[in-house]
Protein backbone atom coordinates (compact mmCIF):
# COMPACT_ATOMS: atom_id res chain seq x y z
CA UNK A 1 0.00 0.00 0.00
CA UNK A 2 1.42 3.37 -1.00
CA UNK A 3 1.82 5.72 1.95
CA UNK A 4 1.71 9.06 0.16
CA UNK A 5 -1.66 10.78 0.44
CA UNK A 6 -3.04 8.35 3.04
CA UNK A 7 -4.05 8.97 6.66
CA UNK A 8 -2.72 6.75 9.43
CA UNK A 9 -3.32 6.39 13.16
CA UNK A 10 -0.16 5.58 15.15
CA UNK A 11 -0.39 4.48 18.78
CA UNK A 12 2.57 5.14 21.03
CA UNK A 13 3.33 8.17 18.87
CA UNK A 14 4.90 10.13 21.70
CA UNK A 15 8.23 8.30 21.77
CA UNK A 16 10.38 5.48 20.44
CA UNK A 17 9.30 3.65 17.31
CA UNK A 18 5.89 5.30 17.39
CA UNK A 19 7.45 8.73 17.20
CA UNK A 20 9.80 7.70 14.39
CA UNK A 21 6.96 6.05 12.47
CA UNK A 22 4.94 9.25 12.82
CA UNK A 23 7.75 11.49 11.59
CA UNK A 24 8.69 9.21 8.68
CA UNK A 25 5.06 8.81 7.59
CA UNK A 26 4.81 12.60 7.44
CA UNK A 27 8.01 12.83 5.42
CA UNK A 28 6.65 10.25 2.99
CA UNK A 29 3.56 12.36 2.36
CA UNK A 30 0.99 10.89 4.73
CA UNK A 31 -1.29 12.52 7.26
CA UNK A 32 -0.98 11.15 10.80
CA UNK A 33 -3.10 11.04 13.95
CA UNK A 34 -0.52 10.33 16.64
CA UNK A 35 -1.85 8.74 19.83
CA UNK A 36 -0.24 8.46 23.25
CA UNK A 37 -1.21 8.47 26.89
CA UNK A 38 1.55 11.02 27.58
CA UNK A 39 0.60 14.53 26.49
CA UNK A 40 4.08 15.96 27.07
CA UNK A 41 5.83 13.51 24.74
CA UNK A 42 3.12 13.99 22.11
CA UNK A 43 3.90 17.70 22.13
CA UNK A 44 7.58 16.85 21.59
CA UNK A 45 6.65 14.73 18.58
CA UNK A 46 4.60 17.60 17.16
CA UNK A 47 7.53 19.97 17.63
CA UNK A 48 9.86 17.55 15.84
CA UNK A 49 7.43 17.36 12.90
CA UNK A 50 8.52 20.86 11.90
CA UNK A 51 7.25 21.82 8.46
CA UNK A 52 4.88 18.81 8.47
CA UNK A 53 2.88 19.88 11.52
CA UNK A 54 -0.13 20.79 9.40
CA UNK A 55 -0.39 17.10 8.40
CA UNK A 56 -0.30 15.93 12.02
CA UNK A 57 -2.88 15.77 14.78
CA UNK A 58 -2.07 14.59 18.30
CA UNK A 59 -4.47 12.81 20.63
CA UNK A 60 -4.11 11.86 24.29
CA UNK A 61 -5.79 8.48 24.61
CA UNK A 62 -5.63 5.46 26.89
CA UNK A 63 -6.00 2.55 24.47
CA UNK A 64 -7.10 0.25 27.30
CA UNK A 65 -10.18 2.43 27.83
CA UNK A 66 -12.64 0.80 25.42
CA UNK A 67 -15.28 3.51 25.74
CA UNK A 68 -12.76 6.26 24.95
CA UNK A 69 -11.39 4.29 22.01
CA UNK A 70 -14.89 3.75 20.60
CA UNK A 71 -15.31 7.53 20.23
CA UNK A 72 -11.86 8.14 18.80
CA UNK A 73 -12.52 7.59 15.05
CA UNK A 74 -14.75 10.66 15.09
CA UNK A 75 -11.79 12.79 16.22
CA UNK A 76 -9.53 11.37 13.51
CA UNK A 77 -12.08 11.91 10.76
CA UNK A 78 -12.77 15.42 12.01
CA UNK A 79 -9.06 16.22 11.78
CA UNK A 80 -8.21 14.43 8.53
CA UNK A 81 -11.43 13.57 6.69
CA UNK A 82 -10.79 9.82 6.59
CA UNK A 83 -8.55 7.07 7.95
CA UNK A 84 -6.67 4.58 5.74
CA UNK A 85 -4.43 2.73 8.15
CA UNK A 86 -3.68 1.83 11.74
CA UNK A 87 -0.31 1.21 13.39
CA UNK A 88 -0.89 -0.63 16.67
CA UNK A 89 2.56 0.17 17.99
CA UNK A 90 2.03 1.08 21.67
CA UNK A 91 3.37 -1.45 24.14
CA UNK A 92 5.03 -1.96 27.50
CA UNK A 93 7.38 -4.54 29.00
CA UNK A 94 7.36 -6.15 32.43
CA UNK A 95 9.98 -6.13 35.17
CA UNK A 96 12.84 -8.54 34.45
CA UNK A 97 11.74 -11.13 37.00
CA UNK A 98 10.76 -14.78 36.92
CA UNK A 99 7.12 -15.86 36.68
CA UNK A 100 7.19 -16.89 40.33
CA UNK A 101 7.97 -13.30 41.34
CA UNK A 102 5.53 -11.53 39.01
CA UNK A 103 2.23 -10.45 40.54
CA UNK A 104 -1.13 -10.78 38.82
CA UNK A 105 -1.72 -7.04 38.70
CA UNK A 106 1.40 -6.48 36.62
CA UNK A 107 0.54 -9.42 34.36
CA UNK A 108 -2.89 -7.93 33.68
CA UNK A 109 -1.44 -4.46 33.00
CA UNK A 110 0.95 -5.82 30.37
CA UNK A 111 -1.82 -7.77 28.63
CA UNK A 112 -4.25 -4.86 28.82
CA UNK A 113 -1.86 -2.54 26.97
CA UNK A 114 -0.15 -4.93 24.57
CA UNK A 115 -3.06 -7.18 23.60
CA UNK A 116 -6.38 -5.62 24.59
CA UNK A 117 -5.26 -2.12 23.61
CA UNK A 118 -4.47 -3.46 20.15
CA UNK A 119 -7.80 -5.32 20.01
CA UNK A 120 -9.72 -2.23 21.10
CA UNK A 121 -8.16 -0.11 18.36
CA UNK A 122 -8.51 -2.79 15.68
CA UNK A 123 -12.16 -3.59 16.42
CA UNK A 124 -13.01 0.11 16.51
CA UNK A 125 -11.27 1.14 13.30
CA UNK A 126 -11.84 -1.97 11.16
CA UNK A 127 -15.38 -0.99 10.03
CA UNK A 128 -13.99 2.33 8.77
CA UNK A 129 -11.02 0.69 7.04
CA UNK A 130 -13.27 -1.82 5.27
CA UNK A 131 -15.03 1.11 3.57
CA UNK A 132 -11.81 2.51 2.11
CA UNK A 133 -10.58 1.63 -1.43
CA UNK A 134 -7.43 0.28 0.23
CA UNK A 135 -6.31 0.15 3.86
CA UNK A 136 -3.66 -1.36 6.10
CA UNK A 137 -3.42 -2.58 9.71
CA UNK A 138 0.07 -2.95 11.15
CA UNK A 139 0.42 -4.68 14.53
CA UNK A 140 3.67 -4.71 16.48
CA UNK A 141 4.45 -8.07 18.04
CA UNK A 142 8.04 -8.79 19.10
CA UNK A 143 10.94 -11.19 18.77
CA UNK A 144 9.66 -12.22 22.21
CA UNK A 145 6.40 -13.24 20.54
CA UNK A 146 8.03 -16.28 18.92
CA UNK A 147 11.04 -16.79 21.22
CA UNK A 148 10.75 -17.19 25.02
CA UNK A 149 12.81 -14.49 26.75
CA UNK A 150 13.56 -15.20 30.42
CA UNK A 151 12.24 -12.46 32.65
CA UNK A 152 9.74 -11.34 30.00
CA UNK A 153 7.34 -14.27 30.11
CA UNK A 154 4.06 -12.34 30.23
CA UNK A 155 5.31 -9.66 27.83
CA UNK A 156 6.20 -12.45 25.38
CA UNK A 157 2.84 -14.15 25.89
CA UNK A 158 1.04 -10.87 25.14
CA UNK A 159 3.08 -10.41 21.98
CA UNK A 160 2.47 -14.02 20.93
CA UNK A 161 -1.24 -13.25 21.30
CA UNK A 162 -0.76 -10.20 19.07
CA UNK A 163 0.96 -12.42 16.49
CA UNK A 164 -1.81 -15.01 16.30
CA UNK A 165 -4.60 -12.43 16.38
CA UNK A 166 -3.00 -10.46 13.56
CA UNK A 167 -2.29 -13.53 11.43
CA UNK A 168 -5.93 -14.60 11.83
CA UNK A 169 -7.03 -11.10 10.82
CA UNK A 170 -4.76 -11.31 7.77
CA UNK A 171 -6.53 -14.53 6.79
CA UNK A 172 -10.00 -13.05 7.28
CA UNK A 173 -9.14 -9.95 5.27
CA UNK A 174 -8.11 -11.90 2.15
CA UNK A 175 -11.36 -11.15 0.26
CA UNK A 176 -11.08 -7.44 1.12
CA UNK A 177 -8.82 -4.48 0.31
CA UNK A 178 -7.48 -4.32 3.89
CA UNK A 179 -3.84 -5.41 4.11
CA UNK A 180 -2.49 -6.75 7.41
CA UNK A 181 1.13 -6.95 8.57
CA UNK A 182 2.77 -8.19 11.76
CA UNK A 183 5.98 -6.50 12.91
CA UNK A 184 8.61 -8.39 14.90
CA UNK A 185 11.22 -6.02 16.31
CA UNK A 186 14.33 -7.35 17.98
CA UNK A 187 16.19 -5.11 20.40
CA UNK A 188 15.34 -1.51 19.47
CA UNK A 189 16.98 1.56 21.01
CA UNK A 190 13.92 3.15 22.66
CA UNK A 191 12.83 4.20 26.15
CA UNK A 192 10.22 1.45 26.46
CA UNK A 193 11.46 0.47 29.94
CA UNK A 194 10.97 3.97 31.33
CA UNK A 195 7.58 4.24 29.60
CA UNK A 196 6.65 0.94 31.23
CA UNK A 197 7.48 2.32 34.66
CA UNK A 198 10.48 0.02 35.06
CA UNK A 199 13.77 1.04 36.66
CA UNK A 200 16.60 -0.45 34.61
CA UNK A 201 19.43 1.51 36.23
CA UNK A 202 20.88 -1.63 37.78
CA UNK A 203 20.71 -3.49 34.48
CA UNK A 204 22.28 -0.58 32.63
CA UNK A 205 25.20 -0.74 35.04
CA UNK A 206 25.76 -4.40 34.33
CA UNK A 207 29.19 -5.22 32.93
CA UNK A 208 27.50 -7.31 30.26
CA UNK A 209 25.10 -4.58 29.12
CA UNK A 210 27.36 -3.47 26.24
CA UNK A 211 26.93 -6.83 24.49
CA UNK A 212 23.30 -6.11 23.56
CA UNK A 213 23.22 -4.66 20.07
CA UNK A 214 20.18 -2.54 19.27
CA UNK A 215 18.61 -1.22 16.09
CA UNK A 216 18.04 2.57 16.06
CA UNK A 217 14.34 3.50 16.17
CA UNK A 218 14.77 5.57 12.99
CA UNK A 219 16.03 2.50 11.12
CA UNK A 220 13.25 0.37 12.58
CA UNK A 221 10.66 2.84 11.28
CA UNK A 222 12.21 2.76 7.80
CA UNK A 223 12.15 -1.05 7.71
CA UNK A 224 8.53 -1.13 8.86
CA UNK A 225 7.28 1.43 6.33
CA UNK A 226 9.19 -0.24 3.51
CA UNK A 227 7.48 -3.49 4.50
CA UNK A 228 4.07 -1.82 4.58
CA UNK A 229 4.55 -0.45 1.09
CA UNK A 230 5.27 -4.03 -0.06
CA UNK A 231 2.24 -5.40 1.86
CA UNK A 232 4.47 -7.83 3.73
CA UNK A 233 2.86 -10.50 5.89
CA UNK A 234 5.74 -10.47 8.43
CA UNK A 235 8.19 -7.59 8.93
CA UNK A 236 11.32 -8.57 10.87
CA UNK A 237 13.24 -5.64 12.33
CA UNK A 238 16.91 -6.10 13.18
CA UNK A 239 19.52 -8.76 12.51
CA UNK A 240 18.74 -10.35 15.90
CA UNK A 241 15.06 -10.77 15.02
CA UNK A 242 15.96 -12.35 11.67
CA UNK A 243 18.56 -14.71 13.13
CA UNK A 244 16.40 -15.87 16.04
CA UNK A 245 13.38 -16.31 13.78
CA UNK A 246 15.47 -18.69 11.67
CA UNK A 247 16.91 -20.57 14.65
CA UNK A 248 13.52 -20.86 16.38
CA UNK A 249 12.10 -22.56 13.31
CA UNK A 250 15.13 -24.81 12.81
CA UNK A 251 16.17 -25.73 16.38
CA UNK A 252 13.68 -24.27 18.87
CA UNK A 253 15.21 -25.80 22.00
CA UNK A 254 18.67 -24.58 21.01
CA UNK A 255 17.32 -21.10 20.30
CA UNK A 256 15.70 -21.00 23.75
CA UNK A 257 19.01 -21.86 25.42
CA UNK A 258 20.88 -19.26 23.37
CA UNK A 259 18.57 -16.43 24.38
CA UNK A 260 18.73 -17.56 28.02
CA UNK A 261 22.52 -17.42 28.01
CA UNK A 262 22.40 -13.92 26.53
CA UNK A 263 19.73 -12.53 28.85
CA UNK A 264 20.31 -14.27 32.17
CA UNK A 265 22.49 -11.44 33.50
CA UNK A 266 19.39 -9.22 33.46
CA UNK A 267 17.28 -11.72 35.35
CA UNK A 268 17.17 -11.53 39.13
CA UNK A 269 17.84 -14.85 40.89
* Domains and their CATH numbers in the chain: 7-266 (3.40.50.720)
Model confidence pLDDT, tens digit, residues 30-83:
999 999 999 999 999 999 999 999 999 999 999 999 999 999 999 999 999 999
Catalytically annotated residue among 155, 170, 212, 260: 155
pLDDT digits (tens, 9 = 90+) for 166-210: 999 999 999 999 999 999 999 998 766 666 566 555 444 443 444
Q: CB under 8 Å to 211, separation ≥6 — which residues?
A: 262
How far, in Å, CA of 183 to CA of 101, rounded? 29
Q: How far apart are CA 2 and CA 17, in angstroms?
A: 20
| pLDDT for residue 269 | 54
**Residue 6 backbone dihedrals phi, psi, to 5 degrees:** -100, 165
Write phi, then psi, for 178 (nearest 5 degrees): -95, 115
Worst-scoring range by mean pLDDT, 87-101, 182-196, 249-263? Answer: 182-196
Q: Is 35 exposed, middle or buried (0-12, 13-18, 19+ CB in 10 A)?
A: buried
| Rounded Cα distance, 52 and 48, in Å | 9
Read off the pLDDT of each residue in 214-236 and give the average, rounded to a whole number: 97
The band of 264, judged by pLDDT with boundaries at 50, 70 and 90, is confident
What pLDDT does residue 206 have?
Answer: 43
Task: Please state the pTM of the whole predicted model.
Answer: 0.91
* Percentage of the residues of the chain whose pLDDT score is greater than 90: 87
Backbone angles phi, psi at 25, to 5 degrees: -60, -45
Mean pLDDT, the chain, rounded, equals: 92
Q: Is 155 considered catalytic here?
A: yes
Amino acid sequence: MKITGKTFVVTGGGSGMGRELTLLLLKRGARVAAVDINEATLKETASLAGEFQSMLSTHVLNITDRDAVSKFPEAVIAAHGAVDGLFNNAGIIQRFVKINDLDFKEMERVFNVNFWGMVNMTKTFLPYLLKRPEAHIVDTSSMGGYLPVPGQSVYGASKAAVKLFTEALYSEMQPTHVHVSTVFPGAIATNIAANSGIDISAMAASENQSQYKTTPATEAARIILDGVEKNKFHILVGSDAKMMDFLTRLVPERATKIIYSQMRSLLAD
